[in-house]
Each structure stands twice: as C-alpha cells, then as structure tokens.
C-alpha cells in the first residue's frame, strides 16, 4: 500500500468518526482519534461507517455517543454480546448464540451456557441436538428455572436473600416457586 493511500484512509476514517460524533455534539481530540484508529484499525472504513450508523439507529445505543469499544463490539459480534456458539461435532453446529468468551476481551471463541462446561462428548452432542429443536428463549427460561430450584436450600443463597430482604424492608425474600 502506498503511503498516500494509507494517509488517505486515515483521513477518511477521521472524517467518518468526526461526522458520527458530531451527531451527538461531540468534538474529537487528536488523542481520542488516535484511540479510535488503534481500536478499529483492522476494519475497513466502510464497515466502521456501517457500525456507526447501526449504533445511531439503535433504539438503546443511539441515545448516547458511541465509544470505540461500542463499535468494536458491534463489528466483532454483529451487534450482540457474543457470536454463534463455537461447539460442533458430528451432529453439526450448535444453533444457540455464544454468551461466554474464552478471552476477557471477547476475542476468543464464544460458547452458549451449556457448551461452556460441556464442549466435547455425549453431553455436547445432546446440547447441539437440542439447539436445533428447542428455541433459545425456551431453553434459557428452563435453565433459569432449574437454577432457582437448585439454589433452594443453599445457605449462601439463603443468606443473600435475607440481606436483600433487610435492605428492601420486606420480611423476607421469597423462594422461587
């Protein structure tokens, strides 16, 4: 790549970020622009522009000015917190979204709650099979319900519920049904 091409791309990138932040009445200092460039250097200007536009159009995110990490997450995960679950076997690929990453910065592989612990073997195959027939919302609701039942009788959970009840002024925090 010619030095003039690189400079042109940097200039175009600076214009994209400056224009996007001006929608929120924000100015970009040279130092802040450098952070933006280092964070998003691996992505093309067209992808960064599209991610900034998605951010602005989002009902929740569009209420505030984007940060470099917001756009990085959007570019890395197609707008969500994670990607597709990385589990696969002879039964195929897991159809659930990944919600846990191997790396703290989100750069590792993503796993659904079930494959976080069972990545290989018959359990993993069973969860892959279930991901094809049980919708994510139903599976998550069942998991949360099961976790509530498992917490019943746990002394740590009981102590936590008592502290919550004391802070909220209730006589006690009820156990899940």
Give the model's pLDDT for residue 172. 55
Average pLDDT per block of 10 residues along the chain, 177 residues long: 72 93 91 89 82 84 87 66 72 76 68 82 85 78 73 75 76 53
14/72 same-domain check: yes
19/68 same-domain check: yes
97/120 same-domain check: yes
What is the pTM assigned to this prediction? 0.45
Domain count within the chain: 3
Give the model's pLDDT for residue 106. 59
Give the model's pLDDT for residue 4. 66
65/86 same-domain check: no
Give the model's pLDDT for residue 79. 41
Last residue of a domain, one of 32, 48, 77: 77
Nearest partner of 74 among 39, 24, 104, judged by Cα:
39
- How far is the C-alpha of 12 from the C-alpha of 15, rounded, in Å? 5
């Amino acid at each position: 790549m010619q030095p003039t091409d690189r400079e042109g791309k940097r200039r175009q990138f600076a214009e994209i970020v400056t224009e996007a932040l001006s929608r929120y009445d924000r100015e970009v200092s040279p130092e802040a622009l450098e952070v933006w460039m280092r964070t998003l250097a691996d992505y093309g200007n067209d992808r960064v522009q599209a991610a900034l536009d998605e951010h602005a159009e989002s009902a929740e995110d569009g209420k505030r000015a984007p940060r470099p990490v917001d756009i990085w997450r959007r570019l890395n995960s197609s707008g969500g917190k994670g990607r597709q679950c990385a589990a696969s076997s002879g039964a195929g690929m897991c159809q659930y979204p990944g919600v846990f990453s191997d790396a703290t910065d989100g750069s590792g592989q993503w796993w659904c709650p079930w494959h976080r612990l069972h990545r290989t073997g018959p359990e993993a195959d069973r969860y892959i099979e279930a991901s094809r027939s049980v919708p994510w919302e139903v599976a998550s609701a069942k998991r949360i319900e099961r976790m509530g039942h498992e917490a019943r009788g746990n002394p740590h959970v009981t102590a936590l519920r008592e502290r919550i009840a004391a802070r909220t002024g209730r006589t006690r925090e009820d156990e899940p049904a």
